[in-house]
Amino acid sequence: MRTKGKVFLVDDDELILEMLSRALRQEGYDVEADATGREVPGRLKAFFPDVALLDIKLPGKSGLEIFQEIRESGIPCQVVMLTSDDTAETAIKAMKLGAADYLTKPFDLEEVKIVIGQVIENGRLRREVQCLRVANPDLYQADFLGESHAAREIREKAAKLARARVRTVLITGESGTGKEVLARYIHRLLHADTGVPWAAILPINCAALPEALLESELFGYEKGAFTDAKADKRGVFELANRGTVLLDEIGDMKPGLQAKLLRVIEERAIRRVGGDREIPVDVTVMATTNRDLPAAMEAGEFRTDFFYRLDAFSLHLAPLRERKEDILVLAHSFLSGFSGRYNRPRPAGFSPEAERLMLSHPWPGNVRELKNVLGRAAALS
């Protein structure tokens, strides 16, 4: 018989465990219980519950410590804290960190059933929204997905930068962490209510082009500026006017070009290669890098003045291994997208074993590696 969902109970009061276990099983839930909390992360990985009821006061370890272990493990399990009156403040703190709800002892069994039902339903709705984001990219363009504390914090900071109309943003992080996705997310927030929702975001890879070619791509050139310059050409900064220029891998830009770009950022005007006319540009400048820029400054490879101009408003993306809660969220999104691309039926999801493997893998290539692995699997299935 299909259950309503899986519930994991953690409480050192054996009577409460027995009462809740019996009531929830009668209600149609699959239930497991733990009276100590010492083996919670391991047992959760084996059981894969939809929701865990976690007592705040436990012998040896606090419920808040166990809650943080659950979050760090990446197990896609919603947590409801069980509190007494004197621990309600701690439960509220846990909710700020991502707990779904809390119940105060002594609680009514009907209230417990209602809360568990709501939490499981909310989880189902979130998964449906993730599918809609993939199926309707025009409605959910460039969202920055993730349920980890780090992902939520990044979205909050991005929203603050957008509200402040910040014009220059630096995004750092390992290769494959989603820096360009975050840049596009900020761009969408910036232009959502400006009257120019069609504003372009134009990326250019600073590591892929020689310095002279990169300069002409950024600033354009005048006819006759060099042998093959048969006509005037606008560069990325002019083409992105009223939008965003995304400078990918800015850490690989040569110092000479950094100086010219610093002037553009400060004056919001460019001069084409071979020209002497100042052309005003109204653009937001976002830059990404996987390099350690302070170390590059020490080595004389990155200008100090340019770094501090970029670093005034910066965001750092943690590697995927440090935000495991995002792994399954991203995996479900990618899988739905690939099913459409390869004309496959929309999958029901992953097996528990597949989810365990994804959560235990270190993902040195980060989100890009996860996407590539799932893409290959979808294409060959």
CATH code for the domain in which residue 366 is found: 1.10.8.60
Are both 315 and 352 inside the same structural domain?
no
Q: Confirm whether 124 is domain-assigned.
A: no
Strand order in the sheet with 30-34: 30-34, 6-10, 51-55, 78-83, 101-104
Are both 303 and 172 inside the same structural domain?
yes
Are both 156 and 69 inside the same structural domain?
no
Are both 305 and 373 inside the same structural domain?
no
How far, in Å, CA of 300 to CA of 179, rounded?
25
Q: What does the angle CA 321 – CA 319 – CA 327 come to, to the nearest 5 degrees? A: 50
Last residue of a domain, one of 268, 287, 320: 320
Q: Confirm whether 287 is domain-assigned.
A: yes
Q: Which two tokens stand for residue 150?
A: 């780090």
Are both 274 and 368 inside the same structural domain?
no
Q: If DSSP codes are grouped into helix, strand and coil, which group holds residue 188?
A: helix
Are both 50 and 180 inside the same structural domain?
no
Are both 273 and 340 inside the same structural domain?
no
pTM here is 0.67
Q: Which two tokens stand for residue 254?
A: 């040569």
Are both 202 and 315 inside the same structural domain?
yes
Q: Confirm whether 121 is domain-assigned.
A: no
Are both 215 and 358 inside the same structural domain?
no
Domain residues for the domain of 273 are 149-320
Instruction: Answer whether 265's CB lies under 8 Å from 285's CB.
Output: yes
Per-residue pLDDT of the chain (381 residues; tens, 9 = 90+): 567 889 999 988 889 999 999 999 999 999 999 887 777 777 877 888 889 998 888 877 788 888 888 877 777 788 888 887 666 677 667 776 677 788 888 888 888 888 898 888 777 766 655 554 444 444 444 478 888 889 999 999 999 999 999 999 999 999 999 999 999 999 988 887 665 555 788 999 998 888 888 999 999 888 887 877 778 888 899 888 888 999 999 999 999 999 999 999 999 999 998 888 888 998 999 999 999 999 999 999 999 999 999 998 999 999 999 999 999 989 988 888 777 666 666 666 788 889 999 999 999 999 999 998 888 887 776
Going from the C-alpha of 365 to that of each of 80, 219, 315, 368, 373, the distances in angstroms are 33, 33, 19, 6, 10
Are both 309 and 331 inside the same structural domain?
no
Domain count, the chain: 3
Q: Confirm whether 297 is domain-assigned.
A: yes
Q: Confirm whether 117 is domain-assigned.
A: no
Are both 296 and 360 inside the same structural domain?
no
Could you write out the DSSP letters of every residue in 64-127? HHHHHHHHHHT---EEEEEE-GGGHHHHHHHHHTT--EEEESS--HHHHHHHHHHHHHHHHHHH
